[in-house]
């Protein structure tokens, strides 16, 4: 199953998976939610869940990372039909970049118009604290800058244009809505907005790399989300993304701090409740905004 070959899924292959899923649930999702590391509890918000394990879905990749359960949860959230990815795929698991983003095209074919992505990330912004939630306003795509972009390969116009715009990747109205909802919920002290930097992983950054990212104006760093957003935007879905700041980047050679996945998962457990409140309130207000 672990393969790094640049296998691109055809429109027909995506359609076959989408049709299989539609045949196994009566839910017709309009919203997709992607759970980041340690944030799988978000899926517990889904009412009347129909759970389909990745291992049972034909041609679907498998989750290999601790904190990613490996199943799709279909159901309703605030009365809206949703699908929740309890477990996402990362480049460092050895999958091709087309494979880790496959679910986005499948969701599009199922009828999804809005994708809400979450992740755990390390902070570069000295004003951020562990436990802060950052609304992503923009990204820097390190693998993409060197040619590893999920849209590399033949373009199928049924999904989208050859050269998609990314200056509007993170929906402005939804970012605004998140700030409004955050203020109403009393989250303003720990709700931030910033730039997410994606790198390949799985090793965490060196001190020199963290200093470079800081100089670039990066607010948070992680190993996911951006590839999914590029594919989702390519096929016209609206994207909104949240980073839970799980650790602070180590910037000093005298520091004893060491980034580690256990701390990442633990921060998810501590902030799970607030992440749920934020996401579910945003979903409850989605009809105030028209899909793109
Ligand atoms: O981005 P998510 O899936 O939340 O996971 C983050 O947490 C892991 C590192 O602890 C990396 O996979 C990083 O990308």
Distance, CA 288 to ligand 1 centroid (Å)? Answer: 31
CA 255 to chain CA mean position, Å: 30
Return the pLDDT at 292: 40
Q: Residues with Cβ < 8 Å from 217, sequence gap 6 or more? A: 195
State how far the Cα of 171 lies from the Cα of 173, in Å rounded to an integer: 6
Known catalytic membership, residue 120: yes
Return the pLDDT at 8: 83
Return the pLDDT at 288: 60
Please report, for the chain, how many H helices and E strands are present, in that order: 8, 9
Count Cβ atoms below 10 Å from residue 118 Cβ, excluding itself: 29
Tell whether ipTM is more than 0.95.
Answer: yes
Please tell me the pTM assigned to this model. Answer: 0.96
Give 10-residue mean pLDDT values along the chain (292 residues): 60 98 98 95 96 96 90 97 97 96 98 98 97 98 96 97 98 98 98 98 97 97 98 98 97 93 91 95 82 44
CATH code for the part of the protein at 11-291: 3.40.50.1580
Distance, CA 39 to ligand 1 centroid (Å)? Answer: 10
State how far the Cα of 53 lies from the Cα of 245, in Å rounded to an integer: 28
Known catalytic membership, residue 139: no
């Amino acid at each position: 199953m672990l393969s790094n070959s640049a296998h691109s899924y055809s429109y027909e292959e995506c359609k076959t998976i989408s049709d299989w899923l539609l045949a196994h649930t009566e839910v017709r999702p309009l919203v997709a939610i992607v759970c980041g590391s340690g944030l799988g509890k978000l899926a517990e918000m889904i009412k009347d869940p129909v759970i389909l394990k990745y291992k049972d879905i034909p041609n679907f990749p498998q989750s290999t990372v601790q904190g990613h359960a490996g199943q799709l949860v279909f159901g309703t959230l605030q009365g809206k039909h949703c699908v929740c990815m309890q477990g996402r795929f990362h480049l460092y698991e050895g999958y091709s970049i087309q494979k880790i983003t496959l679910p986005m095209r499948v969701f599009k074919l199922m009828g999804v118009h809005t994708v809400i992505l979450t992740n755990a990330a390390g902070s570069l912004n000295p004003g951020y604290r562990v436990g802060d939630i950052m609304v992503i306003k923009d990204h820097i795509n390190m693998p993409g800058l060197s040619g590893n972009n999920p849209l590399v390969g033949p373009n199928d116009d049924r999904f989208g244009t050859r050269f998609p715009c990314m200056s509007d990747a993170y929906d402005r109205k939804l970012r605004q809505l998140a700030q409004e909802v955050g203020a109403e919920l009393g989250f303003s002290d720990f709700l931030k907005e910033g730039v997410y930097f994606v790198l390949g992983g799985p090793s965490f950054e060196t001190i020199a790399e963290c200093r470079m990212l800081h100089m670039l104006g990066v607010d948070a760093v992680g190993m996911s989300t951006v590839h999914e957003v590029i594919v989702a935007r390519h096929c016209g879905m609206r994207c909104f993304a949240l980073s839970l700041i799980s650790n602070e980047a180590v910037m000093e050679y005298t520091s004893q701090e060491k980034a580690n996945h256990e701390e990442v998962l633990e921060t998810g457990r501590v902030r799970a409740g607030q992440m749920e409140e934020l996401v579910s309130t945003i979903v409850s207000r989605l009809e105030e905004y028209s899909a793109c």
